[in-house]
Amino acid sequence: MHLTTRAYCGRGTRRRSRHPVKIVKGRTMVPLRFVSQAMGAKVVWDGKNREVLLTL
């Protein structure tokens, strides 16, 4: 994935992230859900506790 695009190819499928990659104070920031799901993780948002649960 390049900084100028939201599209990526993962697991043989072309996909699109809703949020772009950013550089903040010299560090590259990527959306956690985007990266986790690309690696095959299950991502669940627990709104009551305001937590993200990741399962690989």
* The pLDDT of residue 9: 66
Could you tell me if 53 and 43 are in contact, meaning their C-beta atoms sit under 8 angstroms apart? yes
* The pLDDT of residue 26: 93
Give the residue-averaged pLDDT of 27-36. Answer: 86
Residue 49 has pLDDT above 80, yes or no: yes
Buried b / exposed e across 5-38, counting CB within 10 Å, b at 16+? Answer: eeebeeeeeeeebeeebeeeeeeeeeeebbbbbb
* The pLDDT of residue 2: 61
Q: Could you tell me which of 1, 39, 41, 37 has the C-alpha nearest to residue 20?
A: 1
* The pLDDT of residue 40: 87
